[in-house]
Structure 1
Amino acid sequence: MYRTLLIVTVIAALTACSVNINKSKAKPPTAPVVKQTSSSEGFIQSISLANGSSIIVAEGRLEPRSIGSISVKLYRDLYVGDFIAAVNFARDGTIVKAVLIENGLDKQKLSITTVTAGSGNYLASQLVCVTSNDITLC
C-alpha cells in the first residue's frame, strides 16, 4: 500500500512539473493601443511623437457630433498616465482627421481638420504646436 501511494505521489509531482516546463515567460506590459474612431460615439485618436510622448485628440464626450469641443492632451508616458498639458477649443463640425505635419525631437505640429454638418460641408483646420513640456494653439 505504501509503495502504491509513493508511486502515485511521484507521478503527480512529475506531471505538475512538466506542465510548467514549457510555459512562456510573462511579457512586459505594453502601452495601451487607442485606435482612431469616428462613429456616433465621437472621434478619439492616439498619436505617438518622435520624442516618445503621446498625444490624445478627442471630441468632447456627451456633446453633439456637429458642434462642441476638441481636447488635445499631451502625455510623457501614456501607459502610466504621466500627463503634461492639454488644450481645449471650440469646434463647429466633426473631426475628420488629425495628422502630424511636423514631428521633430524638440517640436511637433499637429493639424486637426473638421467638417461642418449640413449641406455646406465646410472644412476647417486648426494647428496645435507641441514642445516637450507644453501644448498650445498655433
Structure 2
Amino acid sequence: MLKPLSILLLCFALSACSININKPRAKPVPPECVSSGIYLEKFELANGATLVVSEGKLEPRSLGSVTVKLFRDLAVGDFVAAVSFPRDGTILKAVLIENGSDKQKLSVTTVTAGSGNYQDSQLICVAGDNITLC
C-alpha cells in the first residue's frame, strides 16, 4: 500500500509533465518581416523634397550598398531619382550639411566592421531634380 507522501509525490510528478496538446504552434516569421537593424533615415529639404537614406535590405550588415532616394513628395510617393554606392561596413550617420532652396549636400559616413572601426564619408549633391555623388 502506498503511503500518503508517495501518492502526493506521484501526483505532483504526473501533473508537472502534462502538456497542452490543443495549443496551436507559432508560425515562423518570414525573414523579410524581421527587423535586421538596417539603417533607414529621411531628411526634409528646404525646397520641400525628401531624401531617404538606407542600406540594402537583403545585404550583409558588414558589406553592401547605400542608396539615397530623392522624392518631391514622399507622402504620395513622388519619386524623382536615386544614387547608390558600395559600402564597407555599416552607416554610422548621415548629416545634411547644406540645405539651401536650390542646392543641398548630404554626408553619409560608414564605419567598417571588425576591430579597425575605419570611417569613410561620401558626399551626395542635390540640385533641383538631380542627385549625384560629389
TM bucket by the smaller chain?
A: 0.7 to 0.9
Q: Using structure 1 for the length normalisation, give the TM-score.
A: 0.71
Question: What SS does the corresponding residue of 1:42 show, helix, strand or coil?
Answer: coil
Q: Pick from 54, 58, 70: which aligns with 2:54?
A: 58
Question: What SS does the corresponding residue of 1:63 show, helix, strand or coil?
Answer: coil
May I ask how many residue pairs the two structures share in their alignment?
100
Q: Pick from 126, 131, 134: which aligns with 2:122?
A: 126
Q: Provide the residue aligned with 1:104 in structure 2.
A: 100
**Cα displacement string for residues 61-113 of structure 1 (whole angstroms, at most 9, x for unaligned residues):** 11011100000000000000001000011000100110000000000000000
Where in structure 1 do 4 or more consecutive aligned residues deviate above 2 Å? none
Seq. identity, %: 68
Letter in 2 for 1:110: L
Structure 1: distance between partners of 2:128 and 2:40: 22
Q: Provide the residue aligned with 1:79 in structure 2.
A: 75
Deviation at 1:131, TM superposition (A): 1.2
Query: Alignment RMSD, CA only?
Result: 1.0
Q: Provide the residue aligned with 2:32 in structure 1.
A: none
Unaligned runs of 5+ in 2: 1-34
Structure 1: distance between partners of 2:84 and 2:111: 18
Letter in 1 for 2:56: G
Deviation at 1:41, TM superposition (A): 2.6
Structure 1: distance between partners of 2:69 and 2:128: 12
Letter in 2 for 1:112: V
Structure 1: distance between partners of 2:128 and 2:71: 10
Structure 1: distance between partners of 2:124 and 2:44: 15
Q: From the CA coordinates, give the structure whose radius of gyration is larger.
A: 2
Unaligned runs of 5+ in 1: 1-38
